[in-house]
Chain A
Amino acid sequence: MAGVELRSVSKRYGKFYAVRNVSLKVEKGEFVSLVGPSGCGKTTTLRLIAGFIAPDGGEVLLDDVSMASVGVRNRQVGIVFQNYALFPNLTAFENVAFGLRTRKVPEEELRSRVEELLAMVGLSGRAAAWPRELSGGQQQRVALARALAIRPKVLLLDEPLSALDAKVRNSLRFEIRRIQRESGITTIYVTHDQEEALSISDRVALMNSGEMEQIGPPGEIYLHPANRFVADFVGVNNLLEGEYLGEGRFRWREHLLSVEDVPLEAGPAALMIRPERLVLAPSEEGADNRLTGTVTGRVFLGPLLRLAVDVEGEQFLVDLLNTETAAPSLDDRVSLTFSSSDARPVGNTGKIPG
């Protein structure tokens, strides 16, 4: 059974398509991220699921039931907003209790449910606190508890961490995932942060200009991007403009490279090589996939050392583990190699639906 299903959903504002022909099926209990640059339609998609706006075409289903005639009030969706949106005139306890009160849950049951939820988000001691007395991270925990209180069919999170500082963001990220696993609730998580999406999701849905570019597990998205947009958006990449010749062969300038054999029509394409998959070759032996250049930059990234290498005017990023003792210095001549399975040709179009 699908917890959430979008069937060719579109939303137009005048002539502008905020969401165009989007289909997505989220299994019950699954955690799916909608990710993409700002204005890509991810938040609109979330609002269509929540019922704040109605689609101009297509259909939204929750638990296999069409929501065409069901308003926000009766959809039973839990929503967590970027700005927390806690009711400032209610305590943490009353915020969490809000949805239970509208449902006329008996006082005793309500009390134990709210306490249980506050404990789950680690705020047992703060039931009486006013929202303004809580830190951003704490407020967002209350917001999460409030959304979960009504036992929603689906939990919708709209950039819930982007207003928080980096440290809180990282710890809360995994806590959201833990709570989601424990409660087994179908979750859709909107973010512009691809790293965040990759790190907590069962599947990632990548959007651009109102359309779905690719839907798949994080590893799939990272290693096998459907097209140039996905390759560019996810992670740090070297993208070489050249020509795919078919059967795992790619021409970049004068070099004939051996690359992943992908079902892509021969023609102009980009070649994606992840910085961590580029290897410094010991000497100038005439092997395949060898490019020679000059080190023009070195950036220390903690566990990694990132080199910028200029190869025939094109800048390559190369990530080395910082344990390597003999890292090259600036202006050193180096040779880069990579295995054919780590170089993936990507076209401008081509989408991979989930």
Chain B
Amino acid sequence: MEGRRGTWLLLLPLAAVLGFFLLWPLALVLWESLYLDGGFSLENYLTLFVRSLYRESLATSLLLSASTALLGTAIGLPLSYFVYKSGGRTKSFLLALTAVPLTFSGLVVGFAFIVLLGTSGFLTLILRELFGINPLEFSSFLFTWRGLVIAYLYFLIPRMILTMTAAWSNANWSLAEAALSLGAGPLTVLRRVIIPMLAPAILAGSSLLFAVSMGAFGTAFALTGIAVKILPLVIYTHVSELSADIAKADALAIILTLVTTGVIVAYERFFTSPSKA
């Protein structure tokens, strides 16, 4: 009994932080999204599914996040193997370098891409000199959701590399050696041993990328203002502009929270359920 009370005491700071900074605000948002003209109503949510702006923004957000998660995983995975294999000091150096983009604010990343690939961007101008491309046409993609994919990858690929480098280090290489000794070729080893072994980490990494791009705001705001309709930007317009509609913003925020949490929970379920290793 004494020990249990001790545990609760130790959990108190964490519980306080979670309560004040996560649960309480979330409850407020939920309350506001449901409370309408002195009564409870689902109207805020229903309009979200009726008005095309909201449906589109949800679809674009999902598309953007799925694309970045997929590309980030595909690019980050081989790079993480390279980092892992480099070993020793090189590995520590590369890991430190990889972590740098994660410390930048989203706005900084957005402006960096404008300076690099914008209409009068560094790379754009070089390409114009070399290949005579039209800067306006070339850089217009940057301010669409496809441009956001490129910009997001800048801070998502490092996340994938960090997640996967840990996974490679914890990997049980005896499994690959056992398979080799049993006559398996490199492709069989990859397909039947390495990929199944890393699958949990790959899925954990990609669902993290998905959740981060669902919620990312700064980069998208810096690049496109509010031109691209994605959930975080639509929420922003609803709390900042003349047409402010806090209740709708609240409802959107709840939807966004549900989607990102849903992805993470689905991942957890899938890999901690007793029927699956």
Contact = CB atoms under 8 A, between A and B. Distances in A.
Whether A and B are associated in the same complex: the answer reads yes
Interface of A: 50, 52, 72-79, 81, 83, 85, 87-89, 98-99, 102-103, 130, 132, 143, 146-147, 149-150
A72 B186 CA distance: 12
B177 interface: yes
6 contacts: A72-B177, A85-B174, A85-B175, A98-B179, A98-B184, A102-B185
Contacts of B193: 87
6 closest cross-chain pairs (CB), A and B? A99-B182, A85-B174, A102-B183, A89-B196, A81-B174, A85-B178
A83 B172 contact: yes
Nearest to A103: B183
A99 B177 contact: no
A161 to B, nearest CB: 16
B191 to A, nearest CB: 11
Given A73-B183, A102-B184, A150-B183, A52 B177 contact: yes
Given A85-B172, A89-B196, A130-B277, 8 more contacts: A72-B177, A83-B174, A87-B178, A87-B192, A88-B196, A88-B277, A89-B277, A146-B182
A332 to B, nearest CB: 49
B180 interface: yes
**Interface size grouping (class) on chain B:** 10 to 19
B183 A132 contact: no
A141 B188 CA distance: 24
Given A89-B277, A130-B277, A79 B183 contact: no
Contacts of B180: 52, 72-73
Given A87-B193, A102-B188, A130-B277, A72 B181 contact: yes
A265 B203 CA distance: 68
Which of A79, A147, A150 has most B Cβ within 10 Å? A79
Contacts of B196: 87-89
Contacts of A150: 182-183
Most buried by A among B177, B181, B193, B196: B181
Interface in B233-266: none
B259 to A, nearest CB: 29
A76 B181 CA distance: 7
Interface in B182-202: 182-185, 188, 192-193, 196-197
A50 B182 contact: no
B179 A87 contact: yes
Nearest to A71: B180
Contact of B277 (A78, A103, A132): A132
Interface string B14-25: 000000000000
A99 B172 contact: no
A74 to B, nearest CB: 8
A73 B186 CA distance: 10
Given A99-B182, A99-B183, A79 B177 contact: yes
A78 B188 contact: no
B172 A79 contact: no
A223 B192 CA distance: 49
B177 A85 contact: yes
Nearest to A130: B277
B119 to A, nearest CB: 51
B74 to A, nearest CB: 22
